[in-house]
C-alpha cells in the first residue's frame, strides 16, 4: 500500500433505491463493496444521487452525536443544497457536493466516500487490492518515504527510506490521486539530491503484521497502526512470547495509528495496567454515558513503558496515550496528536459508497476533552526534514534515552 499518515482528519490514502436511515445497514468492514454503475448524466444517475443524498442526510439527522448540530439548522441547510447535489453528472462530482453538505457540520469524522474509492480502500485493507508497500509522510509541500515493507514492490524496486517523491509519470505528485491502477514511473531524490527513477507496479499484498521487536539494548518496541481484533490478537501473542524473558522497557509506537475500536484500545492497554481502571468515557448524546475500563489481560508487564506519538496519532491512539500520561505510567514522546477523538460509525450507502458519521464523543478517564486539542507529549520531539531524509528516528532515540535514565 501507499499510506499517507493523517494530520487532523483521517487522510490515509491507500494507493486507495433506499431512502431513510432505517434502511441503511452498517458498513461491513470485512467485505468488498459492490459499486452500482450507471451512465454519467443519465436519469439513472440523478435517481441514484437522490437516493444516496436523502439517505445520508436522514442518517446524519438521526445519529449525529451533537443533537443541536452545533447550532446549525441542519435540515434546512441540507435541503437547500439538495437540488444542486443530485444534479451532478457523475460519481466524483456528486460525492464532492455531498461532502460539501456534510462539511457544514464542521466535524472531520462525518464524511462520505465514493463507491470507487471505497472499493479500492477495502481491497487494499483486505489484501485483495494492489499495494506498493510504502508509507509517505508530508514534509512541507513534499512527501518523504518513511516506511517500506520489505515484501513489497517498492522495496523490490530499490526505493529507500528518506527519499522524496518528486513526480509520478512526469506529473507533480498529488496525494488525492490513486497511483495503483497501472504501473508508473516514480521520480525520487535522495538526501544528496541525486535523482532515482523507478518503475513501480502495485500488487496484492497480505496485511502488514504489527511489529514487536527486541532491540539489542533490551528495549521491546511494539508498533501497530490500528486498534482491531486482528491487531490485538497478534500483539498479545507476540507480547506473551517476548515477556518470557522480561525486557528492560517497552515502547509502544502509535505514530501512524489512526485509531479503531474503543474496546480494543482497552484490551491493548490492559497488559500494562490493573483491571478495572477507567481509560475513557463515551458520550452518545441520546444514551447514558458509558465508562471504558481496562480488563484482565493474558500477559502483564510492570516495567517502564513509553508511548510515541505524532500528528498522525488519532482517535483511539489518543485515548491510549492520554491514559498512560494521566496514570503517570510512562512518558509520551514525540509530537502532539491529531485531536480527532470523536467516534464514528460507518454505514453502507445505496450506491456502494460509505458514510461515516460522528456518533459518540470521548473524554479521557479523568474527564479531559481531547477533540480538537489532542495529547501534548511529556517529551516533545519533532523530526526535521533532514532526519526524515537520513532515516534517523530522533523520537525513538529520545524515548530510549529517557527510559534508560537511572
The rounded distance, in Å, linking the Cα atoms of 312 and 339 is 10
The rounded distance, in Å, linking the Cα atoms of 64 and 70 is 10
Q: How confident is the model at residue 15 (pLDDT cuts 50, 70, 90)?
A: very low
The rounded distance, in Å, linking the Cα atoms of 364 and 192 is 45
Beta-carbon contacts of 311 under 8 Å, excluding residues fewer than 6 positions away, are 5, 7, 8, 335, 336, 337, 338
Three-state secondary-structure class, residue 396:
helix
pLDDT tens for 349-398 read 999 999 999 999 999 999 999 999 999 999 999 999 889 888 899 999 99
pLDDT tens for 264-279 read 999 999 999 999 999 9
pLDDT tens for 120-141 read 777 666 655 578 999 888 888 8
The rounded distance, in Å, linking the Cα atoms of 232 and 360 is 22
Residue-wise DSSP of 205-240: -PPPPPEEEE-TTSEEEEE-S-BSHHHHHHHHHHHH
Q: Is the pLDDT of residue 39 over 60?
A: yes
Does pTM top 0.85 for this prediction?
no
Q: Is the pLDDT of residue 345 over 70?
A: yes
- What is the reported pLDDT for 28? 54
- What is the reported pLDDT for 23? 35
What share of the chain has pLDDT > 70, as a percent? 88
Amino acid at each position: 500500500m501507499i499510506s499517507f499518515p493523517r494530520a487532523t482528519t483521517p487522510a490515509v490514502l491507500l494507493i486507495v433505491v433506499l431512502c431513510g436511515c432505517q434502511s441503511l445497514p452498517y458498513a461491513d468492514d470485512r467485505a468488498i463493496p459492490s459499486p452500482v454503475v450507471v451512465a454519467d448524466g443519465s436519469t439513472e444517475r440523478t435517481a441514484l444521487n437522490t437516493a444516496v443524498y436523502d439517505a445520508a442526510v436522514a442518517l446524519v439527522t438521526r445519529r449525529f452525536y451533537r443533537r443541536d448540530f452545533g447550532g446549525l439548522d441542519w435540515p434546512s441547510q441540507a435541503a437547500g443544497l439538495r437540488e444542486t447535489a443530485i444534479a451532478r453528472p457523475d460519481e466524483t462530482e456528486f460525492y464532492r457536493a455531498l461532502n460539501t453538505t456534510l462539511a457544514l457540520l464542521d466535524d472531520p469524522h462525518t464524511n462520505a466516500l465514493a463507491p470507487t474509492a471505497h472499493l479500492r480502500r477495502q481491497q487494499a485493507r483486505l489484501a485483495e487490492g494492489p499495494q506498493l508497500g510504502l508509507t509517505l509522510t508530508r514534509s512541507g509541500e513534499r512527501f518523504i518515504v518513511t516506511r517500506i515493507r520489505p515484501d513489497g514492490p517498492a522495496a523490490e524496486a530499490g526505493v529507500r527510506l528518506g527519499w522524496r517523491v518528486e513526480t509520478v509519470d512526469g506529473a507533480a505528485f498529488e496525494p488525492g490521486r490513486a497511483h495503483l491502477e497501472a504501473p508508473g514511473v516514480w521520480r525520487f531524490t535522495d538526501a544528496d539530491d541525486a535523482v532515482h527513477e523507478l518503475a513501480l507496479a502495485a500488487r496484492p499484498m497480505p496485511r502488514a503484521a504489527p511489529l514487536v521487536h527486541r532491540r539489542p539494548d533490551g528495549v521491546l518496541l511494539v508498533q501497530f497502526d490500528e486498534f482491531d481484533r486482528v491487531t490485538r490478537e497478534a500483539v498479545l501473542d507476540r507480547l506473551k512470547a517476548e515477556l518470557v524473558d522480561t525486557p528492560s522497557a517497552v515502547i509502544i509506537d502509535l505514530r501512524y495509528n489512526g485509531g479503531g475500536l474503543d474496546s480494543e484500545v482497552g484490551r491493548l492497554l490492559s497488559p500494562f495496567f490493573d483491571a478495572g481502571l477507567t481509560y475513557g468515557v463515551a458520550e452518545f448524546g441520546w444514551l447514558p454515558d458509558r465508562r471504558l475500563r481496562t480488563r484482565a489481560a493474558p500477559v502483564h508487564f510492570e516495567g517502564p513503558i513509553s508511548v510515541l506519538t505524532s500528528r498522525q496519532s488519532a482517535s483511539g491512539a489518543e485515548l491510549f496515550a492520554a491514559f498512560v500520561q494521566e496514570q503517570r505510567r510512562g512518558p509520551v514522546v514525540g509530537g502532539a496528536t491529531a485531536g480527532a477523538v470523536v467516534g464514528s460509525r460507518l454505514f453502507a450507502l445505496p450506491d456502494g459508497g460509505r458514510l461515516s458519521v460522528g456518533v459518540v464523543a470521548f473524554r479521557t478517564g479523568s474527564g479531559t476533552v481531547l477533540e480538537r486539542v489532542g495529547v501534548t507529549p511529556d517529551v516533545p520531539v519533532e523530526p526535521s526534514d533532514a532526519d526524515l531524509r537520513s532515516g534517523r528516528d530522533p523520537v525513538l532515540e529520545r524515548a530510549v534515552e529517557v527510559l534508560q535514565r537511572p
